[in-house]
């Protein structure tokens, strides 16, 4: 309300819009910045809490989820490439008979883009394709999927528990795919070593050139003793 341009506010270059048009544009810009700030705040909360706390956050504040997803789409839209598209291209090159589990699926871009059977997990259903659950405990039998995907979704501080869950549901020789913002890693090599210890072999960085996102795959070996 009352979003008049502040005195001395810079005019958008080359715009001859009526004052109401200018104030609408200013208001839209301010709203976009506010949304981006709220997204960053919620995103930071997700990366600094356990997956259970994340579930509580979205249950107690459904608006937070809606803001998070609008902000997420806005941010990813500015990147040169959305990693989920690269994952979809990769999966399309592999047999459609492979069963996929999408951990933290968001709006289910993977399930809606490929023919494979895809189990889509998230805390809140943005689409009817979503199974609502905490990714640390998904309703799948052991060794039931061929590919497990975490696309910008490996956020909980209980990372080890989450990756162990992925390992549990993956068949032997299955593929783990992780796409994550590179700056989130303190030490990529340490992360890869930890993955190897969790039972993922032949770990590789697939496309480190897709700035700012790292995409890695790991292949599950024999079950690890826990
Ligand atoms: N993979 C999607 C969405 C990424 S946004 C894409 O690339 O488009 C991250 C998603 O992870 C959000 O939808 C968020 O709700 C979900 N998420 C975060 N913590 C989760 C948890 N503990 N269990 C299930 N989903 C979770």
- Kindly state if the Cβ of 214 falls inside 6 Å of ligand 1: no
- Give the domain range for residue 160: 83-219
Handedness of CA 218, 220, 225, 226 (dihedral sign): positive
* Tally of domains in the chain: 2
Q: Which residues of the chain have pLDDT under 70?
A: 1-19, 202-226
- Pairing state of beta strands 145-151 and 170-181? parallel
Same domain? For 113 and 186 the reply is: yes
- Residue pLDDT, tens place only, 190-220: 888 888 888 887 666 655 444 445 555 566 6
E strand map for 182-225: 200-205, 213-220
Which pLDDT value is given to residue 198? 83
Same domain? For 123 and 200 the reply is: yes
Q: Residue 124 maps to which CATH number? A: 3.40.50.150
Which pLDDT value is given to residue 181? 82
Same domain? For 147 and 197 the reply is: yes
Which pLDDT value is given to residue 161? 93
Which pLDDT value is given to residue 205? 62
- Kindly state if the Cβ of 54 falls inside 6 Å of ligand 1: yes
pTM, two decimals, is 0.84
- Kindly state if the Cβ of 51 falls inside 6 Å of ligand 1: yes
The per-residue b/e assignment along 100-133, b for 16 or more CB within 10 angstroms, e otherwise, is bbbbbbbbbbbbebbebebbbbbbbebeebbeeb
From 62, 77, 92, the end of a domain falls on 77
Judge contact between 33 and 20, C-beta under 8 A. Answer: no
Judge contact between 65 and 124, C-beta under 8 A. Answer: yes
- Kindly state if the Cβ of 135 falls inside 6 Å of ligand 1: yes
Interhelix angle 62-77/19-47, nearest 10 degrees: 110
- Kindly state if the Cβ of 155 falls inside 6 Å of ligand 1: yes
Same domain? For 49 and 135 the reply is: no
Mutate to test the pocket of ligand 1, among 106, 127, 137, 181 (most ligand atoms within 8 A of CB): 106
* Spatial separation of the C-alpha atoms in residues 89 and 113, rounded to whole Å: 9
Q: Among 65, 67, 14, 74, which residue's Cα sits nearest to residue 38? A: 67
Mutate to test the pocket of ligand 1, among 57, 82, 104 (most ligand atoms within 8 A of CB): 104
Residue 3 included in any domain: no
């Amino acid at each position: 309300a009352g979003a008049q341009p502040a005195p001395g506010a810079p005019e958008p270059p080359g715009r001859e819009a009526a004052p109401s048009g200018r104030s609408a544009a200013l208001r839209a810009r301010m709203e976009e910045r506010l949304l981006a700030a709220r997204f960053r705040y919620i995103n930071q909360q997700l990366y600094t809490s356990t997956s259970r706390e994340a579930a509580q956050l979205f249950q107690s504040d459904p608006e937070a989820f809606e803001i998070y997803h609008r902000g997420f789409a806005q941010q990813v839209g500015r990147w040169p490439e959305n990693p989920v598209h690269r994952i979809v291209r990769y999966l399309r090159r592999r047999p459609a008979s492979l069963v996929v589990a999408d951990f933290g699926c968001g709006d289910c871009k993977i399930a809606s883009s490929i023919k494979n059977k895809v189990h889509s997990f998230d805390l809140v259903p943005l689409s009817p394709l979503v199974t609502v659950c905490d990714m640390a405990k998904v309703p799948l039998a052991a060794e039931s999927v061929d590919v497990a995907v975490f696309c910008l979704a490996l956020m909980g501080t209980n990372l080890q528990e989450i990756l162990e869950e992925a390992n549990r549901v993956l068949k032997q020789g299955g593929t783990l795919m992780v796409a994550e913002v590179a700056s989130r890693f303190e030490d990529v090599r340490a992360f890869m070593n930890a993955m190897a210890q969790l039972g993922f072999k032949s770990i590789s960085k697939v496309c480190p050139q897709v700035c700012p996102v790292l995409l890695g795959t790991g292949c599950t070996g024999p079950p690890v003793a826990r």
